[in-house]
């Protein structure tokens, strides 16, 4: 396999030219002195080296060796511990963490790009740091000052790890049925008892402690509360003490992500501490879940980039057949890059990947504004974050699997065997559509809560803003502008129809949600392609401008019409889906 190379020029272009990160940061006092483009470029350059030289080399070996559960201990693959120590020493776990508690305080606009590089290099390894960063975010948002001071510095430094413990055998997407109990104690702590399954990074040998955020029920309550439960108890001086009744029952044997420890966790009167208010645990946990949902979307994006690089390199090296009309060089066989179908797949992967990166940076920008801005700017950004998070998770991870499969197809039979490495990407990224809330649930959230939940207000607001920007583009044809504008209107028409009929047709949202999210995803990607083409016109590298222009043309001609297909599915309603009697299935 060729070593991973981060698309640094594209990343810099998005930050500097497309979304004007320097102005965003300059207008936010907490970021003004923390970061500028020189700082951002230095961080991206170093992240590229870390991803290429440290993380990527353990990707294949970690998949082959996998995680082991021996003598009650979870052992990660050879090399993981050494790489993790260097990764943590560099401050990468706490990149976007609170600087007053040991984090680096970098903006999320930059963080999403660093995350993408790490996921491109190795999905399984990157999950450990991602879960820790998400747990720290939740503790910082909802924990007491005492909990923050006691746990966050060691989480940001990577000395301790974090995990999110929600799912139980009988309670997956519907957490109302969890059975884990929390019994209050006189000292203000709680004793946690129960079991959880599918816990990513639930235990491992990378850190000396794992801090679990556990959903549990208080006695005589149907509400769900959130508790911080360390694997090893921590005394008042921050020193580690005795084991806390947190043990691993087993590890899951999975299709992919074999270097990531997915554990069955048991809690036997483990001491825990309430985060947030009693019976409001899901509100607190969603802070972490929404972070992880964006991160898992970026897992799909990272897979897309890695898959494209591998497939494009292979297509330029592998000879098979001759070009239509005969070989330009007179060779017996040409590299398969000359064939139209291979180019179709590569262009599809690349056009999805680069637009997906734009979506991730745009979402990161809204997160920064929602966190650091004030007044209506802050409120509007929060509305956009709510709207975009389920889309980023579902659309990026769906397209990530599509990209991995198309790249595997470019390899042909060689893509189905272990040696080339592309089949690992297919296995590793498949879970991204399932965990952190299945993509069907993301779609229902997007359509049912975020779109029709406020009577289409936030979606209308976002599309109106994008429409105003679209009409200001001076280097994009009126035909392309109209192609996006007319579909903005069609999407809103469909949204209003569903909103008007959601009460009388209770199955409508559930039946149409995935197609509605896919219509929106393909449409906003089209907008981003015109935005990137517009902003690349004066780029110092004329080849860069040409590539962006040609990819935009490809997307508008070949991919954008999928919006019409998905809207047709939405407009067909739910009757044919719900008509068949259950017994006939």
Question: What is residue 111's predicted lDDT score, i.e. its pLDDT?
Answer: 97
Average per-residue pLDDT in the chain?
96
Give the per-residue SS3 of 422-470.
HHHHHHHHHHHHCCCCCHHHHHHHHHHHHHCCCCCHHHHHHHHHHHHHH
Minimum mean pLDDT range among 156-160, 167-171, 189-193: 167-171
Whose structure tokens read 């209003």?
Answer: 496
Minimum mean pLDDT range among 227-241, 321-335, 444-458, 562-576: 321-335
436 assigned to active site? yes
**For residue 506, how many C-alpha atoms fall within 13 Å in the half-sphere facing its CB?**
0
Q: Which CATH architecture has domain 8-156?
A: Orthogonal Bundle (1.10)
- Cα–Cα–Cα angle for 51, 46, 299, rounded to 5 degrees: 35
pLDDT tens digits for range 46-77: 999 999 999 999 999 999 999 999 998 999 99
pLDDT tens digits for range 386-416: 999 999 999 999 999 999 999 999 999 999 9
Confidence of residue 551 (pLDDT cuts 50, 70, 90): very high
pLDDT tens digits for range 190-248: 999 999 999 999 999 999 999 999 999 999 888 999 999 999 999 998 999 999 999 99
Minimum mean pLDDT range among 163-172, 237-246, 335-344, 423-432: 163-172
Q: Is the pLDDT of residue 271 over 80?
A: yes
Question: What is residue 330's predicted lDDT score, i.e. its pLDDT?
Answer: 85
Which is catalytic among the residues 436, 553, 581, 582? Answer: 436
pLDDT tens digits for range 516-542: 999 999 999 999 999 999 999 999 999
Alpha carbon distance, N-terminus to C-terminus of the chain: 45
- Local structure of 565: helix, strand or coil: helix
**Residue 115, burial from CB neighbour count under 10 angstroms (0-12, 13-18, 19+):** buried
Question: What is residue 285's predicted lDDT score, i.e. its pLDDT?
Answer: 82
Fill in the DSSP letter of residue 16: I
pLDDT tens digits for range 84-96: 999 999 999 999 9
Confidence of residue 2 (pLDDT cuts 50, 70, 90): low
Question: What is residue 9's predicted lDDT score, i.e. its pLDDT?
Answer: 97
Question: What is residue 542's predicted lDDT score, i.e. its pLDDT?
Answer: 96
Mean pLDDT value across residues 271-278? 96
Question: What is residue 467's predicted lDDT score, i.e. its pLDDT?
Answer: 98
Q: Is the pLDDT of residue 145 over 70?
A: yes
Fill in the DSSP letter of residue 55: I
- In this structure, is the dihedral angle defined by the CA atoms of residues 524, 527, 533 and 536, taken in order, positive or negative? negative
Cα separation, 461 vs 438, in Å, equals 27
Q: Which residues of 191-222 are buried (b: 16+ CB within 10 A; e: fewer)?
A: bbbbbbbbbbbbbbebbebbbbbbbbbbeeee
Cα separation, 298 vs 316, in Å, equals 27
CB 282 within 8 A of CB 437: no
pLDDT tens digits for range 461-471: 999 999 999 99
Q: Is the pLDDT of residue 1 over 60?
A: no
Q: Answer yes or no: CATH 3.30.565.10 is held by domain 161-279.
A: no
Confidence of residue 447 (pLDDT cuts 50, 70, 90): very high
Percent of the chain scoring above 70 in pLDDT: 100
Cα separation, 510 vs 338, in Å, equals 43
- Local structure of 242: helix, strand or coil: strand
Question: What is residue 172's predicted lDDT score, i.e. its pLDDT?
Answer: 72
Beta-sheet strands, E only, within 87-222: 160-165, 181-184, 190-200, 209-216
From 3.40.630, 1.20.120, 1.10.3470, 1.10.8, which CATH number describes the 438-578 domain? Answer: 1.20.120
Q: What is the pTM of this model?
A: 0.96
Percent of the chain scoring above 90 in pLDDT: 92
Confidence of residue 286 (pLDDT cuts 50, 70, 90): confident
Domain boundaries, the chain: 8-156, 161-279, 438-578
Q: 178-183 contacts: CB < 8 A, separation 24 or more?
A: 178/215, 178/216, 178/217, 178/224, 179/217, 180/214, 180/215, 180/216, 180/217, 180/267, 181/216, 181/217, 181/218, 181/219, 182/216, 182/217, 182/218, 182/225, 182/227, 182/272, 182/274, 183/219, 183/269
Confidence of residue 173 (pLDDT cuts 50, 70, 90): confident
Cα separation, 520 vs 524, in Å, equals 6
Closest by CA to 259, choosing from 54, 57, 66, is 66
- Local structure of 572: helix, strand or coil: coil
């Amino acid at each position: 396999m060729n070593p991973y190379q981060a698309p640094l020029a594209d990343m810099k272009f998005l930050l500097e030219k497309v979304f004007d990160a320097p102005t965003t940061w300059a207008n936010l006092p907490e970021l003004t002195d923390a970061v500028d483009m020189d700082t951002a470029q230095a961080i991206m350059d170093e992240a590229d080296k870390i991803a290429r030289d440290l993380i990527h080399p353990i990707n294949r070996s970690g998949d082959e060796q996998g995680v082991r559960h021996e003598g009650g201990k979870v052992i990660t693959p050879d090399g993981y511990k050494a790489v993790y120590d260097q990764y943590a020493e560099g401050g990468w776990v706490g990149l976007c963490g609170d600087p007053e508690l040991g984090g680096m305080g970098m903006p999320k606009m930059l963080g999403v790009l660093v995350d993408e590089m790490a996921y491109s290099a190795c999905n399984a390894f990157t999950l450990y740091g991602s879960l820790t960063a998400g747990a720290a975010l939740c503790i910082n948002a909802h924990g007491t000052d005492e909990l923050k001071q006691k746990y966050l510095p060691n989480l940001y430094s990577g000395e301790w790890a974090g995990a999110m413990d929600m799912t139980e055998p009988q309670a997956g997407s519907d957490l109302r049925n969890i059975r884990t109990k929390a019994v209050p104690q006189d000292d203000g702590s709680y004793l946690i008892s129960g079991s959880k399954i599918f816990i990513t990074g639930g235990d491992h040998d990378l850190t000396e402690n794992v801090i679990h955020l556990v959903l549990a029920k208080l006695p005589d309550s149907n509400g769900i509360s959130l508790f911080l439960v360390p694997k090893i108890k921590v005394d008042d001086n921050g020193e580690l003490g005795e084991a806390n009744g947190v043990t691993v029952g087993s590890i899951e044997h999975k299709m992919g992500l074999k270097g990531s420890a997915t554990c069955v966790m048991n809690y036997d009167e483990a001491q825990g501490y309430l985060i947030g208010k009693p019976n409001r645990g899901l509100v607190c946990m969603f802070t972490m879940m929404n972070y992880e949902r964006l991160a898992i979307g970026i897992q799909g994006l990272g897979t897309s980039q890695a898959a494209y690089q591998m497939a494009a390199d292979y297509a330029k090296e592998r000879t098979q057949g001759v070009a239509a009309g005969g070989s330009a060089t007179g060779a017996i066989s040409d590299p398969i890059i000359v064939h139209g179908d291979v180019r179709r797949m590569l262009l599809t992967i690349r056009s999805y990947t680069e637009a997906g990166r734009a979506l991730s940076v745009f979402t990161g920008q809204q997160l920064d504004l929602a966190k650091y801005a004030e007044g209506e700017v802050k409120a509007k950004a929060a509305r956009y974050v709510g709207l975009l998070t389920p889309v980023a998770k579902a659309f990026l991870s769906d397209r990530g699997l599509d990209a991995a499969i198309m790249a595997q197809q470019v390899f042909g039979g060689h893509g189905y065997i272990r040696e080339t490495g592309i089949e690992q990407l297919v296995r590793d990224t498949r879970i991204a559509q399932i965990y952190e809330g299945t993509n069907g649930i993301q779609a229902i959230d997007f359509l049912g809560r975020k779109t029709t939940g406020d009577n289409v207000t936030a979606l209308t607001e976002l599309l109106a803003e994008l429409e105003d920007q679209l009409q200001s583009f001076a280097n994009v044809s009126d035909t392309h502008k109209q192609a996006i504008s007319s579909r903005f209107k069609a999407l809103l028409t469909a949204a209003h129809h569903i909103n008007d009929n959601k009460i009388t047709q209770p199955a409508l949202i559930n039946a149409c949600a995935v197609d509605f999210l896919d219509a929106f995803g393909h449409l906003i990607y089209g907008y981003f392609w015109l935005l990137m083409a517009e902003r690349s016109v004066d780029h110092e590298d004329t080849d860069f401008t040409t590539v962006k222009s040609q990819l935009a043309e490809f997307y508008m001609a070949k991919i954008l019409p999928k919006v019409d297909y998905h809207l047709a599915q939405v407009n067909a309603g739910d009757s044919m889906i719900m008509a068949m009697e259950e017994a006939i299935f």
